[in-house]
Amino acid sequence: MPKQTVARLHQRASIARPWRAIAGAVLMLSALGGCASLGNLAVSARDNEAPYAASQSNLASLSEVIKQHPDDPQAYNMRGAAYGAAGMHEEALADFDKAIGLDPNYGQAYANRGLVERRTNKLDAAFADYNKALSIDANYAPAYLGRGVVYSLQGRSAQALADFNKAIALRPDDAEAYYNRGLLYQSQRQHEFAIDDFSTAIGLAPQRAEPYVARALSYLALDNNSAAASDLDQAVQNDPSDKKAWASRGLAYERLGQKQKAAGSYAKALNLDEKYAPAVAGFARVGGHVGQAYQTF
């Protein structure tokens, strides 16, 4: 019963964090004629970071703090998180290395370094850092979540599930943990369990599109196309720039026989990415024509 978890950068200072998005959130439209298979869903945890973390002004202010406090490991950890949010992995790793050098028992810095290592496909190094963070604090939920991601990527489903369960036990209000456990259940075709977890995630973070998309995929796999369409209606309102949500919505309405709405949804996905294969195929299947106006709602 594997699930994929979302690891994120953590700071000692409290920072509001947005969710990460699903990768591979659209059913393969080639499976339309049969039972949809979600077993090979590729889920990429794009991690929760502060909305402002990657801004140049924030990086500049954090660098100024480091100038004033060059021996403060927290300052390096926070700037490393900002670099990580900006995709500046080498700079992030350097800052986490410095934070750990200054404080070898800084568990959050190990977990943050593990996240960047995982992002750059250094899974063994990430695994070691998550283990180190947990050796420092056996109740550090983000490290269980991050290690669960690594286990999932390695195909070690039982270990991943155990870590996600532990993360949820420690932080039962963390929507991300439920969302990722749901993804794990979904990848094992345990859709009822997945739907339960996605529903909890939605209750905790109703403004995010990802859990709606994920729950819709499980509904589609169970041929509950009306419920899927309803979830995808909400998903595209929460994030109108999510091409996967639009294409999935197209599939749901296609199955419901509402070709105008299906074509409109596929067209929206194509407006975002004209080469997006599921939308290209779906748009053609429902008889879509470039340049024609279609109903979306």
Domain locations along the chain: 1-28+39-174
Give the tokens for residue 60: 């500049």
- The closest alpha carbon to 141, from 175, 164, 159, belongs to 164
**C-alpha–C-alpha distance, residues 157 and 59, integer Å:** 37
Of 30, 10, 127, 15, the C-alpha closest to 77 is 10
Asked if 39 and 187 count as a contact pair (C-beta separation under 8 A), the reply is yes
Question: What architecture is domain 1-28+39-174?
Answer: Alpha Horseshoe (1.25)
Angle at 28 between CA 23 and CA 33, to 5 degrees: 160
pLDDT by residue for the chain (297 residues), tens only, comes to 434 333 334 433 222 222 332 223 333 322 222 222 222 222 223 333 333 345 677 899 999 999 999 999 999 999 999 999 899 999 999 999 999 999 999 999 999 999 999 999 999 999 999 999 999 999 999 999 999 989 999 999 999 999 999 999 999 999 999 998 999 999 999 999 999 999 999 999 999 999 999 999 999 999 999 999 999 999 999 999 999 999 999 999 999 999 999 999 999 999 999 999 999 999 999 999 988 898 899
C-alpha distances in Å from residue 104, one per residue of 96, 125, 136: 11, 16, 10
